[in-house]
Amino acid sequence: MQLKDKVAIITGSASGIGKEIALEYAKEGAKVVIADLMLAAAQATADEINKSGGKAMAVEMNVTDEAAVDAATAKVVEQFGGVDVLISNAGIQIISPIVDFKYEDWKKLMAIHADGAFLTTRAAMRAMIKQGKGGSIIYMGSVHSHEASPLKSAYVTAKHGLIGLAKTVAKEGAKDKIRANVICPGFVRTPLVEKQIPEQSKALGISEADVVKNVMLKDTVDGEFTTVQDVAQLAVFLAAFPTNALTGQSITVSHGWHMQ
């Protein structure tokens, strides 16, 4: 029980990587908040955790909505007694060459990844400072926090930006024992990636099998996808780490696609 009674807000945790982190955190004794746009799916995950002896609540949260983020965080403090961990994980992907990229799409992606990270960070830091017990903030970056790929300009820009935010939180938060780190996964087969396979196949004029083999997994050491479980293990490690010695870092979990 590495996270016993820690309150963890996980955004975008009705699906994919965030959901697996929620399930893993609950097994480690955390009180988990499933914060997502999709309230019914978030509630289903919370119910699954509560039925299996864990503790979870679902909150409807659009991470781009300042009032919604602040209200949901206040609800968590009221019902679970505080905030110890924030995982800023909600995200989308939009692929297009830069010359065809719609400004609306650029703004939509940046709002979820960058504005969402800022708004949830600010709300969590305010709660953590008030409590006086410190805390851990974890951003879901990507190998695209360090590398670029064609067709992903907005995503690559936003994911690089999260490293800047984490470093700033590390410096501002240190005096209150608030740590911030970034997890940088390689490709993980979640709905976000399943949607991209046919899209990239069309955009690049190659088969879906070639997208997987020769685009997504080309530079890994073993041609394998990273799993939601791999990412969840790292998220437990980062949240359980006890001191400011590990802060302002990004850690890559990608089968060697990117080596720092």
Q: Any idea which residues carry the catalytic annotation?
A: 155
Residue closer to ligand NAD by CB (options 81, 198) is 198
Nearer to ligand NAD, 131 or 211 (CB): 211
Count of alpha carbons within 13 Å of 241, Cβ hemisphere only?
A: 19
Q: Which of residues 200-219 bind ligand NAD (CB under 6 A)?
A: none
Compare residues 93 and 244 and give the one whose CB is closer to ligand NAD.
93
How far, rounded to the nearest angstrom, does the alpha carbon of residue 161 sit from its chain's CA centroid?
A: 14
Query: Residue 193 in contact with residue 92, Cβ under 8 Å?
Result: no
Residue 120 found at the interface with ligand NAD (CB under 6 A): no
| Closest among 177, 178, 187 to 219, alpha carbons compared | 187
HSE toward the beta carbon, residue 76, CA cutoff 13 A? 35
46 binds ligand NAD (CB under 6 A): no
- Determine how β-strand 31-36 pairs with β-strand 249-253: unpaired
**Could you tell me the smallest distance in angstroms from the CB atom of residue 243 to ligand NAD?**
26
Question: Do the Cβ atoms of 217 and 223 come closer than 8 Å?
Answer: yes
Binding residue for ligand NAD (CB under 6 A) from 8, 87, 109, 112?
A: 112
**Does the footprint of ligand NAD cover residue 181 (CB under 6 A)?**
no
Helices vs. strands in the chain: H and E counts, helices first: 9, 7
Binding status of residue 121 toward ligand NAD by CB under 6 A: no
CB atoms within 10 A of CB 78: 9
The answer to whether residue 193 forms part of the interface with ligand NAD (CB under 6 A) is yes
Size of the site for ligand NAD (CB under 6 A): 28
Angle between helices 16-27 and 39-51 (to 10 degrees): 20
Nearer to ligand NAD, 80 or 139 (CB): 139
Contacts of 74 (CB under 8 A, 6+ apart): none
- Token pair listed for 47: 């119910």
Give the count of alpha carbons within 13 A of 244, CB side only: 13
Q: List CB contacts of 148: < 8 A, sequence separation 6 or more.
A: 156
User: Can residue 192 be called a binding residue for ligand NAD (CB under 6 A)?
Assistant: yes
x-or-dash string of contact with ligand NAD, 59-88, rule CB under 6 A: --xxxx------------------------
Of the candidate residues 3, 6, 10, 18, the single one contacting ligand NAD (CB under 6 A):
18
Stretch that binds ligand NAD, among 98-106, 146-154, 166-174, 190-198 (CB under 6 A): 190-198
Residues 141-180 touching ligand NAD, rule: CB under 6 A, are: 142
Among residues 7 and 162, whose Cβ is nearest to ligand NAD?
A: 162
Query: CA 180 to CA 85: how far, in whole Å?
Result: 10
Task: Provide the mask over 22-41, with x wherever binding to ligand NAD is found by CB under 6 A and - wherever it is not.
Answer: --------------xxx---
Q: What is the contact surface with ligand NAD in residues (CB under 6 A)?
A: 11-12, 14-18, 36-38, 61-64, 89-92, 112, 140, 142, 185, 187-188, 190-193
